[in-house]
Amino acid sequence: MNYFEAIFLISPDVANSDIENICSKFENSVTKEGGKITGKEDWGLRDLAYNIKNLKKAFYNFYQIEIDKNKLPILKKNLSVNEKIIRQIFIKVNEHEELPTQLINKQTNER
């Protein structure tokens, strides 16, 4: 098993119930392929660094997963067929960092 961090961006015009459905489908596909989700965070609606498909904002979702690297293309394909997901990235890491991430800590401290 390899450690990965996955982030995908969901279109801002999607309802909260649809976001939950997208996330649960991703989680189900990870477990179906023999992987394990060790952590997840919802980073909420955030500004994009540049426009993607004429959008200026997106909902960010972050996952820490353990899965065989040969199963990664299947996960990517499952995400890419959903037109509500505008970007995705999987990053291989040596080990997962402790949650909450610095981004969430920063948001909490600003409040």
Question: pLDDT tens digit string along 18-63?
Answer: 999 999 999 999 999 999 999 999 999 999 999 999 999 999 999 9
Give residue 109's identity as a one-letter amino acid code.
N
Give one word for 75, left, alpha or beta, with left for phi > 0 and alpha for psi -120 to 50: alpha
Per-residue pLDDT reduced to its tens digit, 50-96: 999 999 999 999 999 999 999 999 999 999 999 999 999 999 999 98
Does the structure show a pLDDT above 70 at 111? Answer: no
Q: For position 96, what pLDDT does the model report? A: 87
Is-contact 66 38, C-beta < 8 A? yes
Closest CA to 4 of 40, 43, 57: 40
CA 45, 48, 52 angle in degrees (round to 5)?
Answer: 110
